[in-house]
């Protein structure tokens, strides 16, 4: 018995399915780091967002964070009240049990502008006023257990400058372990 031949069109369509299903969409995973670990750009770097004048779409921001496999740890009602155009949302890795996997996601207007750093164990948004965000990171020394840092706390100020989130002082690769 002879098998039916697969047409070129069907074969091409079958080949595209895995590529489309597994390809990068820009909403999955963390964005590429810029050459400087303390500066982030948006897709419209250098151009102010028209969305900066619009009310903050907290639902859309939370959905973006969820697509990056994080869960915002602030209520939606509180997020909707954040002043802008620069806003920061603290989140933890979805599904983590110990809470030692966090990130701070930045939005300028309604545009996603990036996150703070890879591999952060713990951080806090100290304050934000719509133009600047102050973050605090406990500093762990090499011999410190995960529960207890002995290196003090370091604060970094984020602000929007020339279409990017800029940290002062510059944010190290991992602010919980800045000297490693």
Q: What is the pTM of this model?
A: 0.72
89 has which bridge partners?
A: 105
What pLDDT is recorded for position 86?
A: 97
173 to each of 62, 117, 125, how far by Cα in Å?
25, 6, 18
Write out pLDDT tens, residues 100-130: 789 999 999 999 999 999 888 899 999 999 9
Tokens of 5: 């031949």
Domain ranges across the chain: 34-168
């Amino acid at each position: 018995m002879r098998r039916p031949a697969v047409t070129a069109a069907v074969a091409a369509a079958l080949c595209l399915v895995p590529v489309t299903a597994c390809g990068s969409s820009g909403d999955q995973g963390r964005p590429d780091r810029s050459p400087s670990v303390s500066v982030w750009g948006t897709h419209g770097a250098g151009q102010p967002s028209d969305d900066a004048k619009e009310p903050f779409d907290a639902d859309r921001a939370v959905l973006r964070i969820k697509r990056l496999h994080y869960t915002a740890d602030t209520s939606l009602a509180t997020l909707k009240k954040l002043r802008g155009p620069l806003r920061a949302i603290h989140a933890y890795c979805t599904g983590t049990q110990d809470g030692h996997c966090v990130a701070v996601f930045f939005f300028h207007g309604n545009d996603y502008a990036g996150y703070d750093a890879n591999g952060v164990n713990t951080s806090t948004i100290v304050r934000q006023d719509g133009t600047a965000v102050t973050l605090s990171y406990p500093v762990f020394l090499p011999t410190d257990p995960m529960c207890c840092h002995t290196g003090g706390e370091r604060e970094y100020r984020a602000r929007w400058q020339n279409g990017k989130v800029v940290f002062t002082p510059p944010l190290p690769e991992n602010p919980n372990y800045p000297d490693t």
